[in-house]
Structure formats: C-alpha cells, structure tokens
Amino acid sequence: MPRDRFDPALSGGTKRSRCPPPRPPSFMTTIDPTAFSTALLAWYDVHHRTLPWRVSPRERAAGLRADPYRVWLSEIMLQQTTVAAVKAYFEKFTLRWPRVEDLAAAPDTAVLAEWAGLGYYARARNLHACARMVAGEYSGRFPETAAALKALPGIGDYTSAAIAAIAFDEPAAVVDGNVERVTSRLEAIEAPLPGAKPLIRAVVEQLTPTERPGDFAQAMMDLGATICTPTKPACVLCPVRPFCTASRAGEAERYPVKQKKKAVPERRGAAFVAVRGDGAVFLRRRPGTGMLGGMSEPPTTSWSARSDGALGAAAAPFPAEWRRVGEIEHGFTHFRLVLEVWRADGEQRPGIEGWWSQPQEIAGEALPTVMRKVLKAAKIVAPAPRNSQSTETRKTAR
C-alpha cells in the first residue's frame, strides 16, 4: 500500500490563495540511501550498458574521466529520443566535429543538415548556440556545476544535473523519464505525472550518493531501460526489489500514474514540388523559429486546422503546371498533418526566395522526415538521409 503522504489529494488539490506559501512538502523516504545505492551500483558494475559516450565503471575507477563535450552532446540528443536512434547521429557529429570548438565553427546550415531526421529541431539550434557560448565565453571548457550549466541554451533541469553528475561528479539529482518510473514504483506514488515531479525529485535527492553520483544516475537510467521497463518490468531480476513498494504489492506496472492527454487534432495543407528539366528540386528555408524552424522544405502552404478544401493549385507559391500527385500523412506530437502533394515539371521561374537542389544534393539537405515523405510522394529520387558538405557553401539562388 502506498503511504498516505503520497495521496494524490495532498499534492493535487485546490490551492489556497492566502497565507501559506506553496512550499514543496518535505517528503522523507524510508529507503536507506546507503543500502540502496550500494545494491544499485553493484548491479551497475556488472550490467551497465556500453555506449559510445560513456566511460565504464572500471575505467572510471582507474581515473579516466568522461569528456564533457561528448556527455553534453549525447544528453542533448537523448532528450525524448531513444538510444538506438541517437547512436548513428552521435558518431556522425563527433567524427565531423571532435571538439566543441569545431562544432562552434560550423555553419548553422551544416548542423541542421546533420540533425535532419532526429526531430525536435530547436535542440539543434540550441546545441549550436551553446557550443558557440562555450567556445567563446568559456574558452572551450564547459562550466562544471549544474547551476551554471543550466544557464546555457538547451540545458534544463535534467540535462544540467546529468552533465554535472556524469562529467564532474556533482551529486545532483538526475530525473528523467526512467528515473520517474523507477522512483514512482519504489515509493508507489499515486499522484499523477507531471504533477508528481517535485515529489519524485525530493526522493531522488535523498537517494543520490556523494560517491559515484554519475554512475548512480546512469545506473538508475539503465535500470529503467532494461529492468524497470514501462510494461512487463522484470522485477525478478531487479537489484533493488527489496526497496520497492510497488513490486512488493505485485503492481509495479501500475506506476507511474499519468495524467491523460488530449486527443490530437488534424491539420491540412499542401506541398508544391517543382522539378526542373535537369532533375533539380526547388527548396526553401523555413522561418528560424517555430515548427521545423530553420529546416528546408519544398514550398508548403500554412497548415490550417482542417481547411475545407480550398487548397489545390490556387494555393501554389508561384504559377506552374501543377498536378496533384498524392497525399501524405505525418504524426506530430500535438497534431496530425495531412499534406496534399503537388508537382510541376519543366523550366520555371519561382520568383521567391529559395534554391534549386540537384538530385545528388537532396540527401544532404536539412529536410525533416515529413518533407522527405513529400518528396517521396512526388517521386523524387532521394537517397536515405546522408550527410554532404554541399549545404555549407551553396548560395541562395533563384
């Protein structure tokens, strides 16, 4: 049974408008922090995952330090993104830009092109801004405390704590989705996320050891990724099962309790793929902020909430012999997009800002996945996302 101090009624309820300042309640865990981290770290020493940006516990004990640049880069990429998806991108980035100064010196178009396909493109913009701040104002060395790290673009609560703990041995409370799940099961927290975050953080702060805080953080995340999984957790194999209230009650899978989310609406629009005689495709750059900010696209209309028809060739960015060649669907986080795909062939004078991209250049363009779907529907031969240098030097043409 969950202890009553985790009753959702206590954390969610109506707020008093008068005197009592809304101070986070001081929850005390009944878990023995020393016993807990000892058991967890012993498991981690044997079962830790081997990842390209990591230093193993053995190497760590031998005095080897993780490279803050690689830790930072991996943490940015891993925000809301799976390890499997990140690996290839991490290799590409570190091969092309081995040090933070190298990344800082790169053109922003090159960074966006390398990031294309990974999603959440504000991360790439912030990544580049952060690299330039570190290279410029910090002499190429990352600040070493969570508080200072958090002041940098793209680095928030989680990432600042993770870098500080992993690269600089600060006993910061590292709370990501894995840790939220593990902790909510340990304490059988009934309050739904995201409201329960302060409570979870309070527990993690008490559990985090001053010795090996980085390994502790990574161990919690590895545990969440391999044992304490969202569905069918392998409690039998869990090194901290003796500490787990939810598992003891046989209902680990019931946690974490989450607030239910709203249904996603649908938006519609049209994309216009102009193809020249030599096979070049007309592309332009999207505005620097907002959805797919700074990324490339064939011209599209705005995406309205279910425009009832009224799209078609009349919405084209410039006159041409447009033919409707298909339709694509793409799911974003908060809406589903349906895009009509129109194509025009032959010599054309777009008369708008943009450039012609040759067939062999398309793979290296900063095209997000949804736009690659559009090109595919327009029967454009586009090899798998690759990385070319061509986007760095290309001038804007018309």
Instruction: Find the catalytic residue in 59, 75, 211, 321.
Output: 75
CB atoms within 10 A of CB 340: 22
Give CB contacts under 8 A, 24+ apart, made by 44-49: 44/215, 44/218, 44/219, 44/222, 44/223, 47/222, 47/226, 48/215, 48/218, 48/219, 48/222, 49/83, 49/222, 49/225, 49/226
* Residue 182 or 344 having the CB closest to DNA: 182
Q: Positive or negative CA dihedral for 223, 122, 96, 151?
A: negative
Is residue 228 within 8 Å of 182, Cβ to Cβ? yes
Q: Report, in Å, the least distance between residue 340 CB and DNA.
A: 17
Among the listed residues 201, 153, 194, 158, the one whose alpha carbon sits nearest the alpha carbon of residue 176 = 158
Q: Which of 10, 51, 106, 325 binds DNA (CB under 7 A)?
A: 51
Q: How many whole angstroms separate alpha carbon 98 and alpha carbon 83?
A: 20
Helices (H), 227-260: 245-248
User: Smallest gap, in angstroms, from Cβ of residue 86 to DNA?
Assistant: 8
Q: Are 124 and 158 in contact (CB under 8 A)?
A: no
Choose between 135 and 162: whose C-beta lies nearer to DNA: 162
Total of chain residues touching DNA, rule CB under 7 A: 58
| Closest CB 355 distance from DNA, rounded Å | 20
Site for DNA in 187-206 (CB under 7 A): 195
Closer residue to DNA in complex, CB, 39/116:
116
Contact 297, 391 (CB under 8 A): no
Q: Give the residue with the Cβ less far from DNA, 3 or 150.
A: 150
Residue 224 or residue 239: which is nearer to DNA going by CB? 224
Contact track, DNA, 129-158, x by CB under 7 A: ------------------------xxxxxx
Instruction: Give the whole-angstrom CA distance, residue 289 versus residue 13.
Output: 37
What are the backbone angles phi and psi of residue 246, rounded to the nearest 5°? -65, -45
Burial 240-268 (b: 16+ CB within 10 A, else e): bbebbbbbeeeebeebbeeeeeeeeeebb
Is 329 a catalytic site residue? no
Residue appearing with tokens 């998806």: 85
Given 82, 139, 302, 393, the residue binding DNA (CB under 7 A) = 82
- Tokens 């990324």 correspond to 295
Interface segment toward DNA; rule CB under 7 A; list 3-11, 32-40, 106-114, 218-226: 218-226
Q: DSSP 3-state assignment of 327?
A: strand
Angle at CA 83, nearest 5°, toward 77 and 88? 70
Applying the rule CB under 7 A, the residues between 13 and 42 that interact with DNA are none
Map residues 297-336 to x or -, x wherever contact with DNA holds by CB under 7 A.
Answer: ---------------------------------xxxxx--
Among 106, 120, 169, 206, binds DNA (CB under 7 A): 120
Output the CA angle 227-332-378, nearest 5 degrees.
120
Binding flags for DNA, 250-289, as an x/- string (CB under 7 A): --------x-xxx---------------------------
| 77 burial level (CB within 10 Å; 0-12, 13-18, 19+) | buried
When the beta carbons of 155 and 375 are compared against DNA, the nearer one is 155
**230 touches DNA by CB under 7 A:** yes
According to CB under 7 A, which residues from 154 to 183 bind DNA? 154-160, 162, 176-178, 181
- Pick from 369, 387, 388, 390: which binds DNA (CB under 7 A)? 369
Count CB-CB contacts under 10 A for residue 174: 28
Residue in 42, 58, 59, 80 binding DNA, rule: CB under 7 A:
80
C-alpha to C-alpha distance for 223 and 45, rounded to whole angstroms: 12
When the beta carbons of 81 and 348 are compared against DNA, the nearer one is 81
Of 113-121, 275-283, 307-315, 316-324, the window that binds DNA (rule: CB under 7 A) is 113-121
Cβ 270 to DNA, closest distance in Å? 17
Residues at the site binding DNA, with contacts judged by CB under 7 A: 49, 51, 53-54, 74-75, 78-85, 117-122, 126, 153-160, 162, 176-178, 181, 195, 218, 221-222, 224-225, 230-231, 258, 260-262, 290-293, 330-334, 368-370
Please list the active-site residues.
Answer: 75
